[in-house]
Amino acid sequence: MRLSRERKYARLLVRRGINLQKGQRVVIRATTEIYPFVEKLVREAYLAGAKSVEVDWSNQAITKYAYRYRSVTNLAEIPEWAIAKQKYRSEELPAMISLTSADPDGLKGMSPDKMRRVRMKTYTIMKPFIDAMENKYQWLVAAVPGKKWAKKMFPDETPAAAVKKLWECIFETCLVTKDNDPLAEWDRKNAEMAKRCELMNSYRFDYLEYKNSIGTNFKCWLMPLSNWCAGGESTLGGVYFNPNMPTEEVFTSPMKGKCEGRLVASMPLSFSGNLIEDFYIDFEDGKAVFWDARKGKSVLDSILNSDEGSKMLGELALVPYDSPISNQKILYYNTLFDENARCHVAIGRGFTNCVEGFENMTQEQLKDMGVNDSQLHVDFMIGTDDLSITGYKDGKAVPIFRDGNWVI
């Protein structure tokens, strides 16, 4: 039964996730542990007309050895063939599928500052290719259970039972049941989320105000042309795809450097194989100026000190507390799921396609308009069952969320 649903899931990722076009190349990023599912996914890609399918394999244990025994300079060296491959992909524009399955604690003990310095050096080299691809190709982040991730979520289960439970959670949140057609379910979901975006965009709010009982008291301004987006999106070439499966968020990119107040995390954040717990960030004049965490502060330091844009926000995302993922009452220790259980924000890089008319603007024009730029985009959750969000337009207050849920 599960194998049949895995095939349906693989088909969903190809047909609605990246919406593969016939004759297009595909790149899959995956850990070696989930090879059996990757094989199914490769088959579905070829059945959908892929010209070729390439898999970029990784292994968390091997990555940990690299950070333990190699220097920053050595780790940051990118061979010419790797740069050439990235340049080729920026021109060829393959559809990209990233499968998350790693242990949330898999890089525990590694120096966050060392990882930050490596990331900064390699990003500088790869940034031109990242910018060249933006909004031009289909991409997808989806999940497949890894044993250690599953055991982290379900510690009282055997590894096999934990993996089985996690598969069921993924199927449920991605609308893959025994008897349904998940492609049709996602078509309906995208249509519903598009209506919510139309409503939010009709208000053209100047700024949003957030408050709850755990300490969040925060205001954030929007760009005059900020658009709310959700569900699927389109490439500049007109191909519609779903970049996240699952998804429950309605999101936008705020005005760079224009926010103030305190944001308190309501859930742990898993970042680069490390957990950050019980943390908050204070903002003044649009930038993070103070932060603290009960656990993982050095990791939080590495995020917020990554580059000029890493102290500013790139995303505001609205997710009702009464959402399918939240109602599972499960902590995934994985941002793909946890961000779709609660309202969240993101430190770092903003989304240029959240600007009305972005397709007619250059990258520099979009940044000048207020889209934040950074090597990072790190989501953290702030939603609670008593969160209130109020939108303001020309001084008039409009309730958006009350008691953690939509009221607009």
Instruction: Identify the three-state secondary structure at position 42.
Output: helix
Check: CB of residue 324 under 8 Å from CB of residue 347. Answer: no
Q: Which pairing describes strands 250-252 and 254-264: parallel, antiparallel, or unpaired?
A: unpaired
* Angle at 403 (CA atoms; ends 169, 170), nearest 5 degrees: 10
Both tokens of 229, joined, read: 């987006």
pLDDT the model gives residue 200: 97
Closest CA to 271 of 310, 219, 213, 319: 310
Check: CB of residue 235 under 8 Å from CB of residue 136. Answer: yes
Check: CB of residue 308 under 8 Å from CB of residue 280. Answer: no
Instruction: Identify the three-state secondary structure at position 94.
Output: coil
- What number of other Cβ atoms are within 10 A of residue 49's Cβ? 12
With bands split at pLDDT 50, 70 and 90, how would you rate the model's confidence at 286? very high
CA 406/CA 197 separation, integer angstroms = 13
Alpha carbon distances (Å) from 344 to 78, 226, 244, 254, 296:
34, 17, 15, 13, 19
CA 156/CA 146 separation, integer angstroms = 16
Q: Which pairing describes strands 269-271 and 274-284: parallel, antiparallel, or unpaired?
A: antiparallel
Percent of the chain with pLDDT over 70: 100
Closest CA to 63 of 114, 14, 24, 17: 114
CA–chain centroid gap for 326, Å, is 17
**pLDDT tens for each residue of 9-27:** 999 999 999 999 999 999 9
pLDDT the model gives residue 363: 87
**pLDDT tens for each residue of 141-186:** 999 999 999 999 999 999 999 999 999 999 999 999 988 999 999 9
Mean pLDDT lowest for which of 7-11, 49-53, 268-272, 301-305?
Answer: 268-272
pLDDT the model gives residue 108: 87
Rounded to 10 degrees, what is the CA torsion of 123, 377, 204, 383?
-170
CATH superfamily of 2-173: Thermophilic metalloprotease (M29) (3.40.1830.10)
Q: Domain residues of the chain, as ranges?
A: 2-173, 195-406
Alpha carbon distances (Å) from 129 to 86, 140, 369, 395:
7, 18, 22, 42
* Amino acid type, 238: G
Closest CA to 96 of 125, 145, 132, 136: 136
Mean pLDDT of the chain: 96
DSSP state of 295: E
pLDDT the model gives residue 273: 80
With bands split at pLDDT 50, 70 and 90, how would you rate the model's confidence at 272? confident
Asked whether residue 1 carries a pLDDT value surpassing 60, the answer given is: no
User: Can you tell me which residue has the tokens 């898993």?
Assistant: 270
Mean pLDDT lowest for which of 2-11, 153-162, 274-283, 287-296?
Answer: 2-11
Asked whether residue 319 carries a pLDDT value surpassing 90, the answer given is: yes
Q: Which pairing describes strands 95-100 and 25-31: parallel, antiparallel, or unpaired?
A: parallel
What is the rounded radius of gyration, in angstroms, for the C-alpha atoms of the chain? 20
Both tokens of 58, joined, read: 């990784």
| Average pLDDT rounded to a whole number, residues 266-273 | 90
DSSP state of 373: -
Asked whether residue 239 carries a pLDDT value surpassing 60, the answer given is: yes
DSSP state of 15: I
Closest CA to 144 of 12, 277, 312, 303: 12
CA 257/CA 217 separation, integer angstroms = 17
| Average pLDDT rounded to a whole number, residues 122-136 | 94
**pLDDT tens for each residue of 30-47:** 999 999 999 999 999 999
CA 6/CA 267 separation, integer angstroms = 29
Asked whether residue 327 carries a pLDDT value surpassing 90, the answer given is: yes
Both tokens of 143, joined, read: 């999940």
